[in-house]
Amino acid sequence: MFQVASHPAAFHLREKRDPPAHRRPSYDYAAPAPAPQQQQALQLPRTLARPPFTDISRDALVAAAPELAAVPAEFIRHGLRAKGPHMQAGIAALAPSHLPVSLPRDRLPPALRIPLCAPPPGAPAPPSYPTHALAIGLPVSKSSPSPADAPQAVFPVHAVVLAAHCAKLPRLPPASPPSSRSSSITLPVLPLALPSPQAFAILHAYMYTHRIDAALGSLLPLPSAFLSSLASSQDPSVALSAALARPSTRHALSEHLLAAAGTSLSALMAHAGHVKELWQDMVALGVYDPALWAGVDLAWEVVLGAMNLGVQ
């Protein structure tokens, strides 16, 4: 099992889990209505704690891209943003009929051989093909067993992207890049246990696009005008911090979320669960992106604000 060092402790929320569906960009499952005594006993932390900063592993980075050994991490991430469209084109070139959405945990193949499709017109060239496939499932323990054939969500990834963003991941095993004339690609399959495969779908997209508006829009139903303002901001982390510090903005966003939830506490609990799961995955992987953390902070404030409005 390809593992991260640890997982953050979860706090309890009554929520329904869907089967892995990482190609669906947003959550669409709802929490069951809690019993009255459970509503009264519900306790959520005031904030979602940020762990101490840990720099990315140079060993993991060198294994993924030896030429970047002496390059500062921030410059690497900046350079990867420019290459993001080429990497996305490489992922999109994988034949969908041969790229499984999920695989059973007890029958994971050592590798997937996937045919390559011709890039669509207008796609950036040349495409940068992924190097590995992550098979992500829930942690298994004596207290929380899961079936041997539990589905593991499959995500094609580039090793250098993971190494540049996830401080707690060890080095990935080597992969053989395809030649320019290859008609298929072989991706080593790496099992990875995370608190939420669904939340990793948001992280997976964000590491390639750095679109905080898309990440928050997948996490919560927020006003389109607010998300558009983030998309046009030169520094989304500053814009999010400003929104977090402005009571009127937080209140307006909470009112919007409450209305979108139909004033249902059950639905708001589900939204809280979504934010919690993204936070857990970020801590487990060691993702320290300032804009993404500011987005999680704001999303948590908005959910708590909506809950407070809903019980008034």
Q: Mean per-residue pLDDT for 215-222?
A: 96
Does one domain contain both 275 and 253? yes
Q: Is residue 183 part of a domain?
A: yes
Q: What pLDDT is recorded for position 227?
A: 97
Q: Is residue 3 part of a domain?
A: no
More confident site: 283 or 311? 283
Residue 263 φ/ψ region, left for φ over 0, alpha for ψ in the -120 to 50 degree band, beta for the rest:
left
Does one domain contain both 133 and 181? yes
Q: What pLDDT is recorded for position 234?
A: 92
Q: What pLDDT is recorded for position 32?
A: 35
Q: Mean per-residue pLDDT for 68-85?
A: 92
Instruction: Evaluate if residue 85 carries a pLDDT over 90.
Output: yes
State the pTM of this model: 0.85
More confident site: 127 or 12? 127
Q: Is residue 120 part of a domain?
A: yes
Q: Domain ends where: 193, 219, 244?
A: 193
Q: Is residue 61 part of a domain?
A: yes
21-25, 224-228, 242-246: the lowest-pLDDT one: 21-25
Q: Domain ends where: 158, 193, 228?
A: 193
Q: What pLDDT is recorded for position 39?
A: 44
Overall number of domains in the chain: 2
Cα 78 → chain centroid: 19
Q: Domain ends where: 136, 161, 193?
A: 193
More confident site: 182 or 92? 92
The Cα–Cα gap between 180 and 163 comes to 25
The neighbouring-strand residues paired with 151 are 104
Three-point CA angle 41, 197, 236, nearest 5°: 85
Across all residues in the chain, what is the average pLDDT?
A: 86
Does one domain contain both 213 and 142? no
Does one domain contain both 61 and 187? yes
* Residue 169: closest CA among 87, 297, 8, 282: 282
* Residue 273: closest CA among 204, 222, 166, 198: 198
Q: What pLDDT is recorded for position 284?
A: 95
Per the CB < 8 A criterion, the answer to whether 132 and 175 are in contact is yes
Does one domain contain both 76 and 179? yes
Does one domain contain both 102 and 169? yes
Q: How far is CA 168 from CA 84, 135, 276, in A?
A: 22, 17, 19
Domain extent at residue 68 = 55-193
Q: Is residue 168 part of a domain?
A: yes
Q: What share of the chain is helix, strand, coil (3-state, %, to 5)?
A: 45, 10, 45
Does one domain contain both 154 and 105? yes
Q: What is the pLDDT of residues 3-46, one digit of tens each?
A: 544 445 444 443 333 333 333 333 332 333 344 444 444 578 88
95-109, 134-148, 154-168, 208-222: the lowest-pLDDT one: 134-148
DSSP 209: H
Does one domain contain both 264 and 301? yes
Instruction: Evaluate if residue 104 carries a pLDDT over 50.
Output: yes
Q: Is residue 19 part of a domain?
A: no
